[in-house]
Amino acid sequence: MNRRLWLKGLAAFGLAVLVTPLRALAAVWNKPAFESAQMDGALRGLGIVQAGPTRDVVLIAPDMAENGAIVQVEVESRIPNTEAIALLVEKNPTPLIANFMFSNGADPYVITRIKMAETSELKAIVKAGGQYYTVSRKVEVALGGCG
């Protein structure tokens, strides 16, 4: 076998071995936060001790959702250096819905569709520069969608 080719292969293999555990580490799912049945536990799991109110996060959701199985939520942070946005529904069986982490020029902005078991406060918590900021709005749910 050609020596250069062999070395190339070896290098590629080494890189794969190095890269795989890093990727796996990044992909660790925050089990304690997501499985917590309480808002407090979910926040603790996310490492959030205190989140102050802000006017620089826009949280758009319907005031009244016909079907709790599909509630469209749009959230945008205008706080500089936003790293992450978490979505939580206070009265869901497990309040933490999602945690979005942005990097490499992504806008701190997402639209997604969530389940709501009943009428509840919907919260977005933004992490920026090591601090946490929160906005909240009430969504009335006509038909619960958590099953």
Cβ within 8 Å of residue 107, ≥6 positions away: 76
Judged by CB under 8 A, the number of residues near another protein is 37
Residue in 101, 138, 142, 143 binding another protein, rule: CB under 8 A: 101
Residue 48 as a binder of another protein (CB under 8 A): the answer is no
Amino acid at 29: W
Query: From the CB of 19, what's the least distance to another protein, in Å?
Result: 11
Residue 107 as a binder of another protein (CB under 8 A): the answer is yes
Nearest CA-CA partner of 115 in 139, 132, 131, 134? 139
Separation of alpha carbons 42 and 91, rounded Å: 12
Query: From the CB of 22, what's the least distance to another protein, in Å?
Result: 11
Nearer to another protein, 27 or 49 (CB): 27
The answer to whether residues 52 and 132 touch, using CB atoms and an 8 Å cutoff, is yes
The answer to whether residues 105 and 65 touch, using CB atoms and an 8 Å cutoff, is no
Separation of alpha carbons 138 and 3, rounded Å: 66
Residue 104 as a binder of another protein (CB under 8 A): the answer is yes
- Could you give the string, one character per residue 108-137, with x where binding to another protein holds by CB under 8 A and - elsewhere? -xxxxxxxx---------------------
Count of Cβ atoms closer than 10 Å to residue 32 Cβ: 12
Count of Cβ atoms closer than 10 Å to residue 33 Cβ: 21
Residue 27 as a binder of another protein (CB under 8 A): the answer is yes
Residue 30 as a binder of another protein (CB under 8 A): the answer is yes
Residue 71 as a binder of another protein (CB under 8 A): the answer is yes
Where on the chain is the footprint of another protein (CB under 8 A)? 26-27, 29-30, 34, 69-72, 74, 89, 92-94, 96-107, 109-116, 145-147
